[in-house]
């Protein structure tokens, strides 16, 4: 298709990243990982020594941070204030703090504006996050809400970073709770998003299914 904006939302470990990157490659489009944007800002906040209980301090650093946002689905590199953060943003420190940073309203406002600008500049883009269908791209051509059982999500995530399955499941549950219960733009399925439960589905199967949905929509 000439133009296609696809919103992929869902909880942590539902397969959003892998599926979104594959889908972007398949439609010869770009990929926007909004979670990586919140993570890169969190890295800068930690690096700047801000108190994570102080929303004003978090917001100040967040708005001063210069982000470089990679959208190549084969290599979506991120930098914050000129430092590559691809590895650091996947580490436990950032993962532990990101939901608190993402709950600060002015941080969200700032990043949502950046996300909208990036989407406006790309006719074919797959955008993954928590609030894409509802807030960032309400006019998306296709909106999917990826889910999977807690056990399946933890198994996938721990295979990715060779962490303990039980600890991973606990961390996913902790972030889901924070992300679903925050006051501003919480994680929830948009009324017009199609739910795809990926439990027991392979990546190829999920990508094929989404391509099928996309082709029937655009
Ligand atoms: O997708 P990922 O696990 O990398 O996202 C990290 C965190 O960023 C989430 O747990 C959530 O707190 C936040 N996030 C968000 N809104 C988005 C994407 C991510 O609040 N659109």
pLDDT tens figures, 164-179: 899 999 989 998 898 8
**The predicted structure's pLDDT at residue 161:** 78
Residues 6+ apart with CB under 8 A from 158: 164, 165, 167, 168
Burial class from Cβ neighbours inside 10 Å (0-12, 13-18, 19+) for residue 113 reads: exposed
99 lines ligand 1 (CB under 6 A): yes
Check residue 217 and give its pLDDT. 82
Task: Tell me how far the alpha carbon of residue 214 lies from the centroid of ligand 1, in angstroms.
Answer: 24
Take residue 143 and report the two structure tokens written for it: 């909106």
Q: Which residues contact 120 (CB under 8 A, 6 or more apart)?
A: none
Q: Would you put residue 49 in left (φ > 0), alpha (ψ -120 to 50) or beta?
A: left
Q: List Cα–Cα distances, 213 to 17, 19, 183, in angstroms.
A: 18, 14, 32
pLDDT-derived band at 126 (thresholds 50, 70, 90) equals very high
102 Cα to the center of ligand 1, angstroms: 7
157 CB less than 6 Å from ligand 1? Answer: no
In this prediction, residues 5-17 reach a mean pLDDT of 93
Q: Whose CA is nearest to atom 1 of ligand 1?
A: 35
Q: Is the CB of 171 under 6 A from ligand 1?
A: no
- Ligand 1 within 6 A of CB of 158: no
Lateral strand order in the sheet of 78-80: 67-69, 78-80, 83-84
pLDDT of residue 48: 95
Cα 213 to averaged position of ligand 1 atoms, centre (Å): 25
**Model confidence, pTM:** 0.94
Q: Flag whether pLDDT at 1 surpasses 70.
A: no
Q: How far apart are alpha carbons 62 and 37 in whole angstroms? A: 10
Burial 50-85 (b: 16+ CB within 10 A, else e): beeeebebbbebbeebebebbbebeebebebbeeeb
């Amino acid at each position: 298709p000439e133009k296609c904006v696809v919103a992929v939302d869902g909880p942590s470990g539902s397969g959003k990243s892998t599926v979104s990157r594959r889908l972007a490659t398949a439609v010869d489009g770009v990929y926007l990982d909004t979670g990586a944007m919140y993570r890169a800002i969190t890295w800068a906040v930690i690096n700047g020594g801000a108190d994570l209980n102080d929303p004003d301090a978090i917001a100040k650093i967040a708005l001063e941070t210069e982000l470089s946002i990679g959208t190549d689905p084969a290599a979506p590199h991120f930098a914050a204030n000129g430092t590559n953060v691809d590895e650091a943003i996947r580490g436990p420190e950032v993962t532990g703090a990101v939901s608190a940073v993402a709950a600060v309203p002015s941080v969200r406002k700032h990043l949502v504006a950046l996300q909208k600008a990036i989407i406006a500049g790309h006719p074919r883009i797959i955008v993954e996050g928590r609030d894409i269908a509802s807030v960032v791209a309400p006019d998306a051509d296709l909106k999917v809400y990826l889910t999977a059982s807690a056990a399946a999500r933890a198994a996938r995530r721990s295979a990715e970073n060779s962490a303990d399955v039980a600890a991973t499941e606990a961390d996913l549950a902790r972030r889901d709770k924070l992300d679903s219960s925050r006051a501003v733009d919480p994680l929830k399925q948009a009324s017009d998003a199609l739910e795809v439960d990926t439990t027991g589905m392979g990546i190829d199967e999920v990508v094929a299914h989404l391509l099928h949905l996309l082709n029937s929509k655009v």
